[in-house]
Amino acid sequence: MLRFQEPLLNPFPNATISGTAIVLAPGHFNPDRAKTAFGLVRGSERFQVLAVIDSKTAGQDAGDIVDSKKRDIPVYGSVNQALEKLEFRPQYAVIGITTPGGILPDYLMLEIEQALEAGLDIVNGLHQPLSEIHSLSGKAAERGAAIHDIRKPRPFSELKFWNGSILKVRAPRIAVIGTDCALGKRTTARWLTESCNENGIRAEMIFTGQTGWMQGHGYGFILDSTPNDFVPGELENAIVRCDQEIKPDVIFLEGQASLRHPAGPCGAEFLCSALARGVILQHAPDRDHFHSMDHLPFQPPSLEEEIELIRLYGSRVLALSLNGGSLEEIDLFQIRDELASKFNLPVICPLEEGVKELLPVVQNFLKKERGGA
């Protein structure tokens, strides 16, 4: 039975959106489509995830599916089933999938309607605003719920234009960018931030996507819902605020897409506008086409080309980070060792080994940035 009570967790008492949540990933709780759900299961300071909704994996522990680590987050087949089984009432239903173009797929409608019927607020990270769908906004009003379209563009009056204040930022920046999208750049940046803080290096991550916001990072903006002219300024503003308010030793920048992805090239802002002088380059060695573009003749660039391009932008690759994809672990580790030898760079496999091997890399980078030997 569902027990109605105060939220179990409210880590951001001044935030208007935080608390207990179920995550909607019906039929698609997998690493390809449920990046947001996977990220929230791995960890969030904004939401306490009580359950994931997916009929295909119902009955399992969400942590087992994400990374074979049990987290006592059950997967239920529907919102109604979760509400019947959960001991505590969730406050939010968070959409945990991504879709091409951010369009609302039909298979999500039933779960959203069930959540609204139960009076749960909807947190929507898709581009398509659910508040503009009259059947959903009407149901929300009827049940006293709210729809939070977090990817809805902010008012023009709130946007910042780049003004050069980045030149006064004390903390060096390291951008985590990739040769493709859907590689785990946010996860790597988040884990690096956590690892640094656990080992005496004060670090902060600038989020640039909806999942980073949902995980509770305090500084950032949602890049792909920001008019292009204002992306450099919003990025600069987030970094400047972070530097002034918490004075970190290092700032990690969550990359988006890739420098040469034909459907959404992104990354120059981190190097040119944020002046990130260090890069952790994420790569999937088993991909021969850009993500979700198998039917088109576009291939991710080679590591040689991308490392050189980053150099031409005035930055340098500090290390490589591999997404193993469909590779067996033994094959992935062999590729890791070969790349380390070939490029004379540290190479990690974050999902398999974590990121602690990069702590000396970060320390050496900071020493050089501060003018040390």
Q: Same domain for 218 and 362?
A: yes
What single letter denotes the amino acid at residue 263? A
Residues 6 or more apart whose CB falls under 8 angstroms from that of 182 comprise: 31, 32, 35, 291, 292
Backbone CA torsion sign across 293, 294, 298, 301? positive
pLDDT per position as a tens digit, 176-221: 999 999 999 999 999 999 999 999 999 999 999 999 999 999 999 9
Residues 6 or more apart whose CB falls under 8 angstroms from that of 277 comprise: 172, 173, 314, 315, 316, 365, 369
pLDDT per position as a tens digit, 219-249: 999 999 999 999 999 999 999 999 999 999 9
From the list 114, 121, 41, 40, the residue with the least C-alpha distance to 84 is: 114
Number of CB atoms found within 10 A of residue 262's CB: 11
pLDDT band at 294 (very low <50, low <70, confident <90, very high): confident
pLDDT per position as a tens digit, 34-72: 999 999 999 999 999 999 999 999 999 999 999 999 999
Q: Among 149, 167, 187, which residue terminates a domain?
A: 149
Residue 6 confidence (pLDDT) above 50: no
Q: Same domain for 116 and 191?
A: no
The answer to whether residues 75 and 46 touch, using CB atoms and an 8 Å cutoff, is no
CATH number of the domain to which 220 belongs: 3.40.50.300
Residues 6 or more apart whose CB falls under 8 angstroms from that of 213 comprise: 46, 150, 207, 220, 222
Q: Same domain for 299 and 230?
A: yes
Q: What is the pLDDT, as a whole number, of residue 11?
A: 32
Q: Same domain for 137 and 28?
A: yes
Q: Same domain for 88 and 182?
A: no
Question: For residue 12, is it within any domain?
Answer: no
Number of CB atoms found within 10 A of residue 198's CB: 11
From the list 131, 128, 58, 122, the residue with the least C-alpha distance to 90 is: 122
Q: Which whole-number Å values give the CA distances from 7 to 3, 14, 45, 82, 117, in the listed order?
A: 11, 15, 14, 16, 19
Question: For residue 332, is it within any domain?
Answer: yes
Q: What is the DSSP string of 211-270?
A: HHHHTT-SEE--GGGS-GGGHHHHHHHHHHHHHHHH--SEEEEE--SBTT-TTSB--HII
Range of the domain at 118: 19-149
Length of the chain: 373
The answer to whether residues 88 and 50 touch, using CB atoms and an 8 Å cutoff, is yes
CATH number of the domain to which 63 belongs: 3.40.50.720
Q: Same domain for 41 and 122?
A: yes
Question: For residue 10, is it within any domain?
Answer: no
Name the domain count of the chain. 2
pLDDT band at 296 (very low <50, low <70, confident <90, very high): confident
Average pLDDT on 291-308 reads 91
Q: Same domain for 53 and 108?
A: yes
The answer to whether residues 52 and 29 touch, using CB atoms and an 8 Å cutoff, is yes
Q: Same domain for 121 and 217?
A: no
Q: Same domain for 296 and 277?
A: yes
pLDDT band at 372 (very low <50, low <70, confident <90, very high): low
SS3 148: strand
pLDDT per position as a tens digit, 11-27: 333 358 999 999 999 99
Between CA 309 and CA 314, with CA 313 as vertex, the angle to 5 degrees is 120
Q: Among 115, 149, 183, which residue terminates a domain?
A: 149
pLDDT band at 252 (very low <50, low <70, confident <90, very high): very high
Tokens 């300071």, residue located: 45
What single letter denotes the amino acid at residue 99? T
- The dihedral over CA atoms of 212, 97, 61, 44, expressed in degrees to the nearest 10, equals 10
Average pLDDT on 303-320 reads 97
Mean pLDDT computed over every residue of the chain = 93
Q: What distance lies between CA 182 and its chain's CA centroid?
A: 10
What's the CA gap between 124 and 131, in Å, rounded?
A: 9
Q: What is the pLDDT, as a whole number, of residue 370?
A: 87
The answer to whether residues 318 and 276 touch, using CB atoms and an 8 Å cutoff, is no
What's the CA gap between 120 and 113, in Å, rounded?
A: 10
What's the CA gap between 247 and 234, in Å, rounded?
A: 19
Between CA 201 and CA 327, with CA 284 as vertex, the angle to 5 degrees is 110
Average pLDDT on 101-109 reads 94
Q: Same domain for 100 and 168?
A: no
Q: Same domain for 117 and 184?
A: no
Q: Among 110, 130, 149, which residue terminates a domain?
A: 149
